Structure 1
Amino acid sequence: MGLFARLLGRRDTGEDHPAATAASTAAAAPPQGRPVIDPAFGDAELARLRAFVGVGSWPGARAVLDAAADQDELTLMVEAVADVKGAETLIGRALAADPDDALLQLAQGARHVSWAWEARTRASARNVSEEQWKLFHERLESAEEHLYRAAELDPELLGPWYFLQISGRGASIDREAARHRFEAALRRRPGHLASHRQRLQQLCEKWQGSHEQMHAFARGAMLAAPEGSPLGELVARAHIEHWLSLPPEEDAAYMAQEHVRGQLHEAADRSVRHPDYRRGRDWPIAHNVFAMAFALSGQPAAAHLFFAELGDRATELPWGYWGDAAEVYERTRLRCAKG
């Protein structure tokens, strides 16, 4: 096991949990001087939206959602709403008064996806109880009903097809159905990064794919997009996923390969390091992914540049695969700063 693998305290469950515990992690007051896992990514508008949901003000939340610049931003904002515990009650009351509101149906569907994973917990599959599995699938079924209703009410919405990719993976739908949901999202927003992230997960070996499929998808999507597109992040994610799947005696050697290091630089140069790259509200996600990938590949100087831009803006994933995300982030940041 390599230096950075030991530093991370590697502990992967083999599961992927979209929206898993970010809010609960941020709710606990961390020791002074540690990064905080902020589910709003340091973005004031996302924080305001979550605050409205947290205090039970749907009109306030709706005003923020209605001001979204485009479908990408609206989908991100709906995901922020969905991650707030108890949001299903607030949205349910609003939905009872207006069941044909597409945005309400979308928000409730998204919330039920997140709510399902709360029931499922982050435990490994063998440690999830029969009652937890039952609740997980019930909530996923409810989520899909709301999401399909949203898509029916407003066929132009991107959000339903993004969240249906997550619910579909949880429900273990077949490969063709999973591909259909991804393609439906892309017909509405071809360069939607979050949907590409979900497709990458679907193609991981631990789900329904293979390393070859995963890497081919990541690289193909990056090269098909114009330079400055955020899709280069997929290449870094694919290498981290590959690293996760390897035994400790092989993982460091894999990441240290010259072609892996070269692909990480190529991906960063075509995306987050390109002059045409534009940061979205959730830009810290990509920077955290690249920071980890460069650290794991034994390139602390490259990783340090990302940490310098991030400051304390750590994200739950990918660091949360190995325990307390803020702690792992801080250890890795300090080590990379020393070179």
Structure 2
Amino acid sequence: MGSTGPTFDPFDNTPELIPLRTAAQAGQWPAVRAWFTGLDSAEKISTGSAVLADIDGVETFLERAAAELPGDPLPRTLLAERYIHIGWDIRSGARANHVSRDQFDQFHAWLRRAEQLLIDVCAEQPAYAPAWTARLLTARGLELGQAEARRRFDRLSAHHPHLYRAQSQLLQQVCPKWGGSWDAAHGFARECATSAPDGTNAGAMVALAHIEHWLDLDGTERTAYLRGVPVRDDLRFAAQVSVLHPSYRPDWNAIGAHSAFAFAFSLGGHSELAAPHFAFLGDRASEFPWQYLGDPKTGFHTFRTSALETRGSAHR
């Protein structure tokens, strides 16, 4: 295991995504479409959509494809994801009081363009999960409210329950920073963990809710929060029924789910509980939630060293 890790690059962590990047950078819509057509789950399509949206310039060939294939939900959904990404880049990840009026105006304009595409797709294909997932992002950015966001999530879940990306998007929505509450956030996270079959990634929502709560606190309160026994036990149970369950089979979201637990246990000072998650991750990590540390790479490396030393001493 390297000592410099980790890599946060999705293409390093999930090599199956590399052909998508190659096709997208070459502007080859037929190859992009073939890649998506070859996927076997709504979860993978949604992951691919998010990755494609982060590649500069793809809107050019996606706009052409959407115009040429008016009945196909894929190009319009991918184009909407790209518009959402462009808008969010302009807005930035800052809290609302640090975002200018002009930034907000541009942000909302891009999101409205995306929303119009997605409304049509969902009307034509009510069970099309990638479009409903993208509409969770537009609902949040356009501030359409808790009830509307939940309605969209429920429409999606009726056809595709336990989708990790959709769950993590609604979790952001139900946090106080987007008009929710901590009761709502922790309640939703528990609902995700307990309603899913054992051995899925859904339990990681419990870790992500605690991380968001930790982030919202200051000073000694923040330090104490993840160290608390109730939070530790909540995290431990969620890990045991999800990514540490014997029936767990890693997928494209496994790095994100294990990262959430490794992060939460480490910040709580529970190195021994973080150890199995770091053992799975090796030199890989998801950008979220490690970006919440000032220096994600150093933080990951420090916490991983501590966790694996704990594990080593336990086996001596």
TM-score under structure 1 length normalisation: 0.86
Aligned match of 1:165: 136
Q: Provide closer, same or farther for how the CA distance between residues 256 and 34 of structure 1 changes in structure 2, counting only shifts above 3 A.
A: closer
Residue 234 (1) aligns with residue 205 (2): yes
- Matches of 1:88 and 1:179, distance apart in 2: 29
The structural deviation recorded for 1:266 is 0.5
- Show structure 2 runs of 5+ residues with no match: 311-316
Aligned match of 2:155: 184
- Matches of 2:36 and 2:139, distance apart in 1: 25
Q: Is the contact made by 2:129 and 2:156 (CA closer than 8 Å) also made in structure 1? A: yes
Q: Is the contact made by 2:127 and 2:156 (CA closer than 8 Å) also made in structure 1? A: no
Q: Which deviates more, 236-245 or 316-325? A: 316-325
The structural deviation recorded for 1:123 is 3.6
Amino acid at match of 1:49: L
Q: Is the contact made by 2:24 and 2:52 (CA closer than 8 Å) also made in structure 1? A: yes
- Matches of 1:96 and 1:209, distance apart in 2: 38
Of the candidates 233, 244, 263, which is equivalent to residue 292 of structure 1? 263
1:132-173 alpha-carbon deviations (Å, 9 max, x no partner): 221101000001011112223322210111110111111111
- Matches of 1:41 and 1:193, distance apart in 2: 20
Q: Is the contact made by 1:101 and 1:153 (CA closer than 8 Å) also made in structure 2? A: no
Residue 140 (1) aligns with residue 111 (2): yes
Q: Is the contact made by 1:41 and 1:281 (CA closer than 8 Å) also made in structure 2? A: no
- Matches of 1:315 and 1:332, distance apart in 2: 15
Partner of 2:149, secondary structure, is helix
Amino acid at match of 2:222: D
Q: Provide closer, same or farther for how the CA distance between residues 40 and 71 of structure 1 changes in structure 2, counting only shifts above 3 A.
A: same
- Matches of 1:329 and 1:84, distance apart in 2: 26
Partner of 2:4, secondary structure, is coil
Aligned match of 1:23: none
Q: Is the contact made by 1:314 and 1:326 (CA closer than 8 Å) also made in structure 2? A: no
Percent of pairs with identical residues: 36
The structural deviation recorded for 1:51 is 2.2
Of the candidates 257, 260, 284, which is equivalent to residue 231 of structure 2? 260
TM-score under structure 2 length normalisation: 0.92
Aligned match of 1:303: 274
- Matches of 2:114 and 2:298, distance apart in 1: 33
Q: Which has the higher helix share?
A: 2
**Number of residue pairs aligned between Structure 1 and Structure 2:** 308
Aligned match of 2:180: 209
Per chain length, whose mean CA-contact separation is higher, i.e. which structure has more relative contact order (CA < 8 Å, sep 6+)?
A: 1
Q: Is the contact made by 1:119 and 1:132 (CA closer than 8 Å) also made in structure 2? A: yes
Aligned match of 2:59: 88
Aligned match of 2:50: 79
The structural deviation recorded for 1:73 is 1.8
Q: Is the contact made by 1:240 and 1:293 (CA closer than 8 Å) also made in structure 2? A: yes
Q: Is the contact made by 1:37 and 1:325 (CA closer than 8 Å) also made in structure 2? A: no
Q: Is the contact made by 2:80 and 2:114 (CA closer than 8 Å) also made in structure 1? A: yes
Of the candidates 220, 227, 236, which is equivalent to residue 191 of structure 2? 220
Q: Is the contact made by 1:272 and 1:287 (CA closer than 8 Å) also made in structure 2? A: yes
Q: Is the contact made by 1:291 and 1:306 (CA closer than 8 Å) also made in structure 2? A: yes
- Matches of 2:212 and 2:163, distance apart in 1: 20
Q: Is the contact made by 1:322 and 1:328 (CA closer than 8 Å) also made in structure 2? A: yes
Partner of 2:6, secondary structure, is coil
Q: Provide closer, same or farther for how the CA distance between residues 312 and 119 of structure 1 changes in structure 2, counting only shifts above 3 A.
A: same
- Matches of 2:95 and 2:249, distance apart in 1: 37
Aligned match of 1:248: 219
The structural deviation recorded for 1:291 is 0.3
- Show structure 1 runs of 5+ residues with no match: 1-31
Q: Is the contact made by 2:164 and 2:202 (CA closer than 8 Å) also made in structure 1? A: yes
RMSD: 1.7
Partner of 2:275, secondary structure, is helix
